[in-house]
Amino acid sequence: MKYIDMHCDTILTVPDDGSSELLINNPKASVDFDRLRQSDAMAQFYAIFLMNEEMFKEEGKKYIPDDEYILRSVNMLKEAVKNTNYMEMAYNYNDLMNNSSNDKISALLTIEDGRSATSIEKIKHYHDLGIRLITLTWNFENSIGYPNSDDKTIMQKGLKNYGFEAVEYMNEIGMLVDVSHLSDGGFYDVASIAKKPFVASHSNSRALSPHNRNLTDEMIKIIAEKGGAIGLNFAPEFLAKDITNTHCKIELMINHLNYIKNIGGEDVIALGSDFDGIQGNLEISGSHEMPKLFDALKNNGWSETQLEKLTHQNMLRVIKETLK
């Protein structure tokens, strides 16, 4: 079954001295082009996750400033795509549909952590590079706003003045606004001004798993009312009641999908695996095993229509309404 995955961190798996060929075939990663083809993917969103200097050191990599790293990552993905006959870049709905009609999988670019998007000019530059989604924050405060946090004071803080401007501009030029990792206050600020659908690219239900990265019932309803989508995150700690859980089980994934569908309706559900950004004992360990989830959902009573909405139709609608 064709599917769209809204989030993976696979670009992180390519070492400093590595080749873009590792995006095509890399058994050490959870996602590569060959396995996307094997699993009949329609599109994969590739996140450019902005590590800080300490993270670069932990990864054994030389520190690269944000804009240099973004440009390097963009070029690496585009180069890898050129070296296949079954992948193609996509920047909007028409691109994606044209690629699909030519039996090609679409690759879309995103930035995880809007810390480098410090001005409207920078956002425009990223759009010109081909970036089509920005996750507004990661786990730290930036010029846009505040992150999810165990600190209730931080969690209540919202967008900064520039953050409001940034969201409005992203809507205007055709970039998806992603509220995964954002504080609760920031979420409601985005909802109050968004003129286009927005997404939580890789988040689950907070009622089922009380992690601050997950969404409350009210948030699920708001994203649905705005015509947006919520991408199921496969991370074990976002799936279980015990947020120290290390086992990602299909049963837990189905629980979240059923819950989100019941709260927000079947038009809000989507996929955001977070592959290559998550750890643990994963029952679905990579893109090649995605059909396991779809088969399990069929056995759980999901109709063909519901499956198609989850796997690609909902995201196609969001892409059509937002991306330029």
Q: pLDDT confidence of 19, banded at 50, 70, 90?
A: confident
pLDDT at 26: 96
pLDDT tens-digit map of 66-120: 999 999 999 999 999 999 999 999 999 999 999 999 999 999 999 999 999 999 9
Q: Which amino acid is at 275?
A: F
Lowest pLDDT segment from 10-24, 102-116, 139-153: 10-24
SS3 231: strand
Query: Tokens standing for 189?
Result: 């600020």
- Separation between Cα atoms, residue 276 and residue 258, nearest integer Å: 25
How far, in whole angstroms, is CA 291 from its chain's centroid? 19
Beta carbons of 262 and 303 less than 8 angstroms apart: no
- 10 Å CB burial of residue 144 (0-12, 13-18, 19+) is buried
Residue 197, CA distances (Å) to 26, 154, 217, 297 in order = 34, 25, 18, 26
Beta carbons of 50 and 9 less than 8 angstroms apart: no
37 DSSP 8-state letter:
H
Beta carbons of 50 and 24 less than 8 angstroms apart: no
pLDDT at 59: 83
Enclosing H/E stretch for 271: strand 269-271
pLDDT tens-digit map of 176-232: 999 999 999 999 999 999 999 999 999 999 999 999 999 999 999 999 999 999 999
In which residue are the tokens 């590739």 written? 46
Beta bridge partners of 147: 182
Half-sphere exposure of 235 (CA within 13 A, CB side): 25
pLDDT above 80: residue 16: no
Q: Which amino acid is at 27?
A: P
Lowest pLDDT segment from 54-58, 116-120, 262-266: 54-58
Domains and CATH numbers, the chain: 3-322 (3.20.20.140)
Beta carbons of 86 and 37 less than 8 angstroms apart: yes
Beta bridge partners of 3: 41
Dihedral of the alpha carbons of 159, 160, 162, 167, in degrees to the nearest 10: 0
Lowest pLDDT segment from 18-32, 51-65, 69-83, 270-284: 51-65
pTM: 0.98
pLDDT at 234: 98
